[in-house]
Amino acid sequence: MENDETLSSSFFSYDVKSFHRISFDQRQIVEAMVDKNIVGHGGSGTVYRIELSNGDVVAVKKLWSRKTKNSASEDQLFVANELKTEVDTLGSIRHKNIVKLYCYFSSLDCNLLVYEYMPNGNLWDALHKGKILLDWPIRHQIALGIAQGLAYLHHDLKPSIIHRDIKSTNILLDINYQPKVADFGIAKVLQARGGKDSTTTVIAGTYGYLAPEYAYSSKATTKCDVYSFGVVLMELVTGRKPVEAEFGENKNIIYWVSSKVETKEGAMEVLDKQISRLFKDEMINVLKIAIRCTFKAPGQRPTMNEVVQLLIEADPCRFDTCKSSNKTKETENLTKTTNPYDL
C-alpha cells in the first residue's frame, strides 16, 4: 500500500483510505455524483463517471445504503467492517487485468469506492449491445486477459482470492480492449449480507453463471470461478447470452452448446455468425476449453493456470502478427492447434 492513511473530513464526515499515489478532492467527487454522470446501476450500487478538475477520470461506485430504523444496526456495522477488510486486500492488488481500486470513502450511511475508469464499458454491453463488432483476435485477447487476471488471484496470491461473481458485466474494457476483472471481494461481503436478507438480489444477478455446486452449497471454491469463466468464454465464442429463450425452458448456454456440439455441423452453428469463418478452428478450440471449464464435476474442470496455457495454444496470432480479421489462408493453416480434448 503506497499511501495508507486514514483522513477525516469534518465537512463531509467521510473516512478515506487511499491505495495509490493519487489524491482526490472528496468534495469534488461527492458534488459530481449527480444523475447526468451515472454510467449504470448494479446489484451493489450506482456507478458514476467523474471527471476531476485535473482532467483525470474516475469511476465512483456508491454502494447501496440500507436504511434501517436503527442506523447503527448490527447489519450495517458488519458490512462496514467486512468492507474495510476486503477493500484493504483489493487496494493492495496490482495486475494488468484487474481493475485498480484507488480509494475508499466511508461514512455512516454511505460507502464509495473510487476505481480507474474504463472507457469501453463492460464486456456484456460490448458483446450483446455492441455498436462495434469485436473480432476474434480481440475476443481471444479478452479471454486470455481475464484468465490471467483470475490465475493471478487463484495461484499467485496467498491466500488465494476467489472472485465469486465472474460474469461479463464484471469484465471491463480499457481503451485498447484489454480486459480488467472488477467487483471481486465486494461480492463476498454483499453475499454475506444477502444471507441475512433474502430480498437482496446479489445472487439472482449472477443467474446463468453460477456453478451448480455453488448454487446448492454456497461454498465458493476456485473451481466455481472456473465454471463462471467458462460461461463467459461461451459468450465470447457464440455471441449469445448465458440464458436465452431459444435454449428452452430452464436451459442455459451450457446445455445449448453441449446439445449442438454432438455433430460437426452443430458445432459450426454455435459459433458467432458475425465473425469470419477463417477463425473457426481457433473458435472451436476455445469452445472446447469452455466446455471443460463448465463440467459439472468441479474436479474435472481445469485450473486457471491450465486455462491460460490452453488459451495461449489457441491464440489465432500465435505464428503471425494478425492484428485484425484480415487473416490469410496461410495463417489459418499455421495456427491450427491440436487440442488434446476431444468434444
Ligand X SMILES: Nc1ncnc2c1ncn2[C@@H]1O[C@H](COP(=O)(O)OP(=O)(O)OP(=O)(O)O)[C@@H](O)[C@H]1O
Give the binding site for ligand X (CB under 6 A): 39-45, 47, 59, 61, 99, 115, 117-118, 121-122, 165, 169-170, 172, 182-183, 205
Nearer to ligand X, 42 or 137 (CB): 42
Q: Quick one: what does residue 59 bind among Mg ion, ligand X, none, with the CB cut-off 5 to 8 Å set by partner type?
A: ligand X
Nearer to ligand X, 48 or 256 (CB): 48
Q: Which three cell numbers stand for residue 255?
A: 446445455
Closest approach, Cβ 212 to ligand X, in A, equals 20
Cis? peptide before 159, omega within 30° of 0: yes
Nearer to Mg ion, 44 or 285 (CB): 44
CA 103 to chain centre: 20
Nearer to ligand X, 61 or 154 (CB): 61
Binding marks (x or -) toward Mg ion, 150..179, rule CB under 5 A?
--------------------x---------
Which is nearest to 243 in space by CA: 229, 257, 262?
A: 257
Q: Quick one: what does residue 106 bind among ligand X, Mg ion, none, with the CB cut-off 5 to 8 Å set by partner type?
A: none
Closest approach, Cβ 343 to ligand X, in A, equals 32
Closest approach, Cβ 330 to ligand X, in A, equals 39
Q: Quick one: what does residue 94 bind among ligand X, Mg ion, none, with the CB cut-off 5 to 8 Å set by partner type?
A: none
Q: Which residue number places its CB atom closest to ligand X?
A: 42
Binding marks (x or -) toward Mg ion, 12..51, rule CB under 5 A?
------------------------------x---------
Q: Using CA atoms, how far apart are residues 89 and 210, in angstroms rounded to an integer? A: 24
Q: Quick one: what does residue 47 bind among Mg ion, ligand X, none, with the CB cut-off 5 to 8 Å set by partner type?
A: ligand X
Is the CA virtual torsion 206, 104, 52, 172 positive or negative? negative
183 binds Mg ion (CB under 5 A): yes
Largest CA distance in the chain: 69
Q: Using CA atoms, how far apart are residues 336 and 313, in angstroms rounded to an integer? A: 9
Q: Which three cell numbers stand for residue 337?
A: 492447434
Closest approach, Cβ 155 to ligand X, in A, equals 24
* Burial (CB count within 10 angstroms: exposed 0-12, middle 13-18, buried 19+), residue 231: buried
Q: Using CA atoms, how far apart are residues 109 and 63, in angstroms rounded to an integer? A: 10
Closest approach, Cβ 188 to ligand X, in A, equals 12
Which residue of the set 15, 88, 165, 342 is catalytic? Answer: 165
Which is nearest to 304 in space by CA: 195, 194, 206, 225?
A: 225
Closest approach, Cβ 42 to ligand X, in A, equals 2
**281 is known as an active-site residue:** no
Cell 488471484 belongs to residue: 153
Piece of 64-72, 113-121, 183-191, 322-330 that binds Mg ion (CB under 5 A): 183-191
- Per rule CB under 5 A, count of chain residues that contact Mg ion: 3
Q: 249: which residues sit within 8 A by CB, 6+ positions away?
A: none
Which is nearest to 54 in space by CA: 33, 31, 23?
A: 23
Nearer to Mg ion, 183 or 272 (CB): 183
Name residue 324's amino acid: S
Name residue 100's amino acid: K
Q: Quick one: what does residue 212 bind among ligand X, Mg ion, none, with the CB cut-off 5 to 8 Å set by partner type?
A: none
Classify residue 242 by its DSSP letter: S
How much is the CA Rg of the chain, to the nearest whole Å? 21
The residues annotated with a catalytic role in the active site are: 165
Binding residues for Mg ion (CB under 5 A): 42, 170, 183
